[in-house]
């Protein structure tokens, strides 16, 4: 069955430190992938997307993600975290010919220490 795993439920990093959030997926065909961010009480905001081509994609707010087919991963990174990055982050995966339906990971909550 198709699935998306975010192994880390909660991560705490210090402000200014680098960040990597993990996402692994299990899909039979070529997936397309997204990262979304959710602040408390808000809806989900798109950070970045990968459909094809360059496997390193840039997003908003200084985030980037790298698609690694051999590892079935799409990890999100940021070189220097800001206190305003504290939020919940969701990885989502879609597959060709599935009508745009997405499977979401369970989310990773990011806390930022001053």
Partner 1 sequence: DAEITQSPRHKITETGRQVTLACHQTWNHNNMFWYRQDLGHGLRLIHYSYGVQDTNKGEVSDGYSVSRSNTEDLPLTLESAASSQTSVYFCASSESEYRPQYFGPGTRLTVL
The site for partner 1 (CB under 8 A) is made up of: 32, 34, 36, 41-46, 49, 51, 90, 92, 94, 97-102, 104-107
Q: Which is nearer to partner 1, 32 or 74 (CB)?
A: 32
Under DSSP, the state recorded for 69 is G
Rounded to the nearest whole angstrom, what is the least distance from the CB of residue 111 to partner 1 in the complex?
A: 16
CB of 102 to partner 1, least distance (A): 6
Q: Which is nearer to partner 1, 81 or 94 (CB)?
A: 94
What's the closest the beta carbon of residue 114 comes to partner 1, in angstroms?
27
**DSSP β-bridge partners for residue 26:** 3
What Å distances lie between residue 57 and 64, 90, 95, CA to CA? 6, 16, 18
* Nearer residue to partner 1 within complex by CB, 17 or 46: 46
Residues in the chain: 114
Residue 36 burial (CB < 10 Å; 0-12/13-18/19+)?
Answer: buried
């Amino acid at each position: 069955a198709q699935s998306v795993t975010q192994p880390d439920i909660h991560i705490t990093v210090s402000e200014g430190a680098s960040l990597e959030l993990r996402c692994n997926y299990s899909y039979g065909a070529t997936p397309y992938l997204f990262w979304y961010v959710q602040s408390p009480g808000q809806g989900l905001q798109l950070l970045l997307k990968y459909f094809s081509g360059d496997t390193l994609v840039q997003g908003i707010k200084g985030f980037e993600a790298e698609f690694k087919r051999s590892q079935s991963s799409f990890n999100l990174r940021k070189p220097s975290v800001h206190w305003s990055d504290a939020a919940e982050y969701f990885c989502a995966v879609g597959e060709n010919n599935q009508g745009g339906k997405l499977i979401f990971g369970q989310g990773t909550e990011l806390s930022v220490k001053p």
